[in-house]
Structure 1
Amino acid sequence: MNPDDLDLAAFIQPGDRVVCGQLTAEPTTLTEALVDQADRIGRLEVFLGTTFSNTFAPDRAPALSFLSYGATGTNPRLAKAGRLAILPRHYGALNAAFATGEIRADVVLLQVAASSGGFNLGLANDYAALAARHARAVLVEVHADVPVTTGAFLPTDTTITAVIAARRAPIELQPGRIGAVEQSIAGHVAGLIADRSTLQIGIGSIPDAILSGLEGHRDLGFHSGVITDRVLDLIEQGVITNAYKSVDPGVTVTNTVCGTHRLNRHLHLNPEIAVLPAAHTHGIEVLSRQDNFLSINSAIEVDLTGQVNSEMAGGAAVGGVGGLVDFARGGVAARGGRAIIALPATARNGAASRIVHRTQRVTLAHSDVDVVVTEHGVADLRNVPLHARAERLIAIADPRFRDDLARQAGEGSYDA
C-alpha cells in the first residue's frame, strides 16, 4: 500500500491500545501517520518502548495517551508533560506478558524486511512482535534497508492486516561521545574483564567507552539486549569471537540492533549474529548457564548499601527498569559471572553526587549487585557486610562529597 493512501481509521478504533516498534525498529511511516490522524480517530493509548525519534512530541496529537516500560530515549519529554504512564516491569517479564496476551494489544505497528522466507523483524525481536500474535490488526511497513537477521522471522501464527511501503530508511544511532570521565570508568571496567568472558552491555557514552577500551582482549563473547557499532568494531578486530561461550558458541546474540547503516548491512543474512526473543536474551535459565557472563550496566545513582536507581532523577522519570534486573541477576547466577554497575561519580556538572545515602527509587536490590565502578575506582561489594559496603562506595565517590557521605553513614545503622 502506498502510504499516501493509508487511512488508519480503517484499522484502529477509538479506545484501542496501539503497540509500536521501538528503538531503530520504530516504523516511522506508520507512527507519523498515527500522530497525524489520531485526533480524527478518537482517544487511543500508545504503548512505547525506548524512542529515538521525535514522532511523539508532547505538543502533538492530544488524543493520544502513552504507556511505556520506561522514560528512556526521548520519552522523558512525554513524562515531563504528564502524558506518559510507566509500567514498571522487568523487560523479560514484559515480553512474556505480551506473548501470552496478559498485556492487551489491539493494533500493532511494525517495521520489517521482506524476504523469500517471509517477513523478518530485522532490528528488534521484541515485545511488539509477540503482541502481534494476539492483536486484531497488524500493520507492517517495509523498507529495503531493514536487514534480514538470523532468528528474527515474524512468528508464523501472526496475521498481517496491511503492508505499507516505508517513506524513509530505519533510524540510525551514532556511537556516543566519549570524554575523560567515560575513559576513566572504561579503564577500571576493562580490568574486571578477563579474556573469554561473555559480555552484556547497553547503549550510551559509558558502554561505548568500555567497548572501545577492549581492543587488547581476546576471544570475548557477546550476549546482550542490544548491539551497537562499537560491538561491530570488536567483531571486526577479532576481539569478539564467541569461541568460548557455553551457550550459543560462535554466535553473537542480541534482542535489538541500535547502530548505523554499517551495522545493519553487517547483520544482513549473517548467521554469526542472531536477533533473538527476550525469552532467550534476558531469560535467567539461559543467562545462568552462560559461564563467565558479565552484566555491565549504568545507573542514575547508587546508595551506600549498593541499591541502584535507574528510574528517577530529581523526582522526575528519566529511565526505567528495562533489562537491568534480568541481566544483573544473570551475572550473579552464572558461574564466574559478575553484575557490574558503572556510572560517573557526579551529575549536574559536578553539583550532585551519584553515590548517595539513599536512592530515590530502588530498581536493583543491593543483593543483586557485586561491583560498582566510577572514574575514581572500583568498589567490590561481594561478600561484604553493609557497613563495609558503605566505606567502599564512599571511597569511589567524588572527593567533594565523601565527608558528607561518611557523616550520613555514621548516623545510620546499615546492619540493623
Structure 2
Amino acid sequence: MSCLSFLSQFKPISRQYHNAVSLESACKILQVPLNKTNTPNYVSYEQALSLVKSGDSLYTQAAANSPTPLWKALVKRIDSGNLKDLSMHHIITIGETPWLNEHYYDKIRTKSLFICGNARPAIAQGKADYIPIFLSQMPQYFSQMEKKFDASLVSVSPPDEHGFVSMSLTVDCSHAALQNSKKVIGVVSKNLPRVFGDAIVHISHFDALVEDHSYEPFELPATKYGPQDPETIIGKLIAENLVDDEATLQFGIGGIPDSVCSFLTGHKNLGIHTELLCDGVYELIRDGVINGTKKSFDNGLHVSSFVIGTKRLYNLMNNNPEFKLKCSSYTNNVEMVAKSNKMTCVNSCIEMDLTGQIVSDSIGYKFYSGFGGQVDFITGAGMSYDNKGKAIIAMTSRTPKGISKIVPVITEGSGVVTNRGLTKYVVTEHGIANLFGKTIAQRAYELINISHPDDREKLEKATFKRLKCMPSKD
C-alpha cells in the first residue's frame, strides 16, 4: 500500500460536520460556500471574542499570519475575569504574544506543535506543553482529536466579489484546524496578500470577522552574511556541489537556506515544493531561475505550506496564480516528495553524533524547537522515484559559544528526530560528508573531517573509545 493510500484511510471531520473525506481532498471543503452570503458582516473585536467561552480549546494561525489583534482581544477578555481554563494549539508564533505572558499561565494552557522563543519559558517551567509531531501528520492529529477545537483564530485577506478570502501566507495545518473547529474567528486586512491554493476559504465558514486594515503581516528578511562567514561557505558548497539544474527544492527554517539561494543564480529551471517559502527565493523566482517547468507535478507552480519573507515577496505572491499554498498533508506527504524531480532538501539541526543521529528539537533536557517537516522531506528524498533525491543537513561546525555540533554521543536528555539510517549528506563550512551506505567507522571518519579542526583530535579519541577502532575511510 502506498503512503498516500495509507493516509487516505483516515477520515477528517470538517468544522460543519460534512460527510467525512480523505486527507487528500479534505482541504477543498472550505472552498465550498455554506450559503450564498458574499458580503461579510463585520463585528468588533469584543463581539468576535465573545464567542470564546471558559474551558474552550483554541487553535491559532501563526508565522507571518500571526493574528496579534485577536490575541490582544483574547487576553483583554481574560483580564476582565470572563475567561479561564483555555487551551491554545499553535505552531510558530511570531511577534507579540500576550497570552504567553506568565500572568496568563493559569488561565490559558499552551500546546505548542513547534516551539518558538516566546513559548520556551512556559514549556521549560512546565506551564505549557510541547507536542512532538511531524508537520505532515498535524492535519491527521486534528481530525482524530477526541475534542474538536471550539474556535480557531486566523487572519485573512478581504473577500472578493464571490465572498472568498485568502488565508494568505499560512496554510500549513491551519486549514485543517478550521475544518475541525466549531467556530472560526478572523481579522480581515487589505495588507495581507491574496494567495491561492488551499488558502482560499468562503466567508460563510466564518462565525465572526473583524475588519482591521492597520494589521500587517510579519516580515523576516533574508539573512545576509559576510564572505567568510560559515553560513556563506556552507551555502556555496551546497549550491555548487549538491544542487543540480532542474532540481526541486525544499528549505527548512534558518539563515542557511537564504545563503544557498544566493549562490543559485546561475542554475536553470529549478522548482519549489517545500513546507516553508523564505525570502531568499525572491530574486530566483523574479529572474526565472526558479520557474517550476521541470517539476514532475504542479508544473510551473511554486508550492509551499507557509511563507515567511518580506513585502517584496508578499507583493510578488499577491493575486499571482504561479504561487500555491497547500495543506501540510500535501506538501509534506512523503510520497509527493518522493515523486518530485531531483528532490533536494536542505535542513539543519542542533546536534549530530558520530553515527549520524540528528537532534533537532531539544538541547539536552530543554525542548527548543520541534520536528517540523525535516523527517518528512528527508524520508521522501531518500525514496525518490528518479533515484536523484538529495537529503542535506547543513549546519555550522560549532555553536556561537564555540561548542562542536558534531559530538561523540548525543547530549543526555536530547531526543533523536532523524535516525542515522536516513542521514545522507551533511555539510559544514569545512566540507561535505556523504554517509549513505557507510559503516559506523566510515561515518565517524566523514563527520570528523567536516568538524572544526580544533575538535577533530578529541572526536577521534572518542570514536576509538566508543567503537574500539579508529575512524576509517575504508
TM, length-normalised to structure 1: 0.94
Task: Measure the CA separation in 2 of the matches of 1:296 and 1:103.
Answer: 36
- Residue 3 (structure 2) aligns with: none
Task: Measure the CA separation in 1 of the matches of 2:401 and 2:222.
Answer: 22
The 1:105/1:403 distance shift into structure 2, 3 A limit, reads: same
Task: Measure the CA separation in 1 of the matches of 2:85 and 2:126.
Answer: 16
Quick one: which amino acid aligns to residue 74 of structure 1? N
Quick one: which amino acid aligns to residue 74 of structure 2? L
- Residue 234 (structure 2) aligns with: 185
Match of 1:369 among 417, 423, 437: 423
- Residue 358 (structure 1) aligns with: 409
Question: Are the aligned partners of 1:309 and 1:361 in contact in 2 as well (CA < 8 Å)?
Answer: yes
Task: Measure the CA separation in 1 of the matches of 2:281 and 2:261.
Answer: 7
- Residue 31 (structure 1) aligns with: 71
- Residue 240 (structure 1) aligns with: 290
Quick one: which amino acid aligns to residue 112 of structure 1? V
Task: Measure the CA separation in 2 of the matches of 1:5 and 1:232.
Answer: 38
Cα deviation, 1:127-186, whole Å, max 9, x if unaligned, reads: 222121221211011000111112034456973110012342112222224241110111
- Residue 22 (structure 2) aligns with: none
SS at match of 1:72: coil
Offset of residue 111 of structure 1: 0.8
- Determine which structure has more spread, i.e. the larger CA radius of gyration: 2
Quick one: which amino acid aligns to residue 150 of structure 2? D
Task: Measure the CA separation in 1 of the matches of 2:76 and 2:429.
Answer: 46
Task: Measure the CA separation in 1 of the matches of 2:196 and 2:236.
Answer: 33
- Residue 395 (structure 2) aligns with: 343
Match of 1:270 among 320, 323, 335: 320
Quick one: which amino acid aligns to residue 61 of structure 2? G
Task: Measure the CA separation in 2 of the matches of 1:18 and 1:357.
Answer: 42
- Residue 149 (structure 1) aligns with: 195
- Residue 106 (structure 1) aligns with: 150
Task: Measure the CA separation in 1 of the matches of 2:468 and 2:128.
Answer: 36
SS at match of 1:402: helix
SS at match of 1:366: coil
Gaps of 5+ in 2: 1-41, 470-474
Of 70-79 and 353-362, more deviation after overlay is shown by 70-79
Match of 2:269 among 219, 234, 240: 219
Task: Measure the CA separation in 2 of the matches of 1:242 and 1:99.
Answer: 32
2:61 is the counterpart of 1:11: no
Offset of residue 73 of structure 1: 5.0
Quick one: which amino acid aligns to residue 289 of structure 1? K
- Residue 126 (structure 1) aligns with: 172
Cα deviation, 1:84-103, whole Å, max 9, x if unaligned, reads: 31111111011222245567
SS at match of 1:18: strand
SS at match of 1:137: strand
The 1:147/1:322 distance shift into structure 2, 3 A limit, reads: same
The 1:157/1:131 distance shift into structure 2, 3 A limit, reads: farther
The 1:71/1:394 distance shift into structure 2, 3 A limit, reads: same
Question: Are the aligned partners of 1:243 and 1:250 in contact in 2 as well (CA < 8 Å)?
Answer: yes
Task: Measure the CA separation in 2 of the matches of 1:230 and 1:90.
Answer: 24
Quick one: which amino acid aligns to residue 176 of structure 1? T
Match of 2:218 among 152, 161, 171: 171
The 1:151/1:294 distance shift into structure 2, 3 A limit, reads: same
Question: Are the aligned partners of 1:50 and 1:74 in contact in 2 as well (CA < 8 Å)?
Answer: no
SS at match of 1:392: helix
Task: Measure the CA separation in 2 of the matches of 1:337 and 1:227.
Answer: 19
Question: Are the aligned partners of 1:58 and 1:83 in contact in 2 as well (CA < 8 Å)?
Answer: no
Hey, which bits of structure 1, 4+ residues long, moved more than 6 A?
none
- Residue 137 (structure 2) aligns with: 93
2:104 is the counterpart of 1:61: yes
2:376 is the counterpart of 1:332: no
Task: Measure the CA separation in 2 of the matches of 1:344 and 1:305.
Answer: 18
SS at match of 1:400: helix
Quick one: which amino acid aligns to residue 180 of structure 2? H
SS at match of 2:102: coil
Question: Are the aligned partners of 1:255 and 1:276 in contact in 2 as well (CA < 8 Å)?
Answer: yes
- Residue 408 (structure 1) aligns with: 462
Question: Are the aligned partners of 1:175 and 1:204 in contact in 2 as well (CA < 8 Å)?
Answer: no
Task: Measure the CA separation in 2 of the matches of 1:211 and 1:153.
Answer: 26
Task: Measure the CA separation in 2 of the matches of 1:122 and 1:227.
Answer: 13
Task: Measure the CA separation in 1 of the matches of 2:54 and 2:448.
Answer: 53
Cα deviation, 1:219-246, whole Å, max 9, x if unaligned, reads: 1111101112211111112211111111
Q: How many residues align?
A: 413
Question: Are the aligned partners of 2:61 and 2:90 in contact in 1 as well (CA < 8 Å)?
Answer: yes
Task: Measure the CA separation in 1 of the matches of 2:103 and 2:44.
Answer: 20
Quick one: which amino acid aligns to residue 353 of structure 1? S
Question: Are the aligned partners of 2:175 and 2:199 in contact in 1 as well (CA < 8 Å)?
Answer: no
- Residue 201 (structure 1) aligns with: 251
Offset of residue 77 of structure 1: 3.6
Question: Are the aligned partners of 1:211 and 1:231 in contact in 2 as well (CA < 8 Å)?
Answer: yes
SS at match of 2:197: coil
Gaps of 5+ in 1: none
Question: Are the aligned partners of 2:221 and 2:310 in contact in 1 as well (CA < 8 Å)?
Answer: yes
Quick one: which amino acid aligns to residue 235 of structure 2? A
Quick one: which amino acid aligns to residue 356 of structure 1? V
SS at match of 1:287: helix
Task: Measure the CA separation in 1 of the matches of 2:347 and 2:417.
Answer: 12
The 1:208/1:151 distance shift into structure 2, 3 A limit, reads: same
The 1:282/1:411 distance shift into structure 2, 3 A limit, reads: same
Task: Measure the CA separation in 1 of the matches of 2:218 and 2:74.
Answer: 18
Seq. identity, % = 29
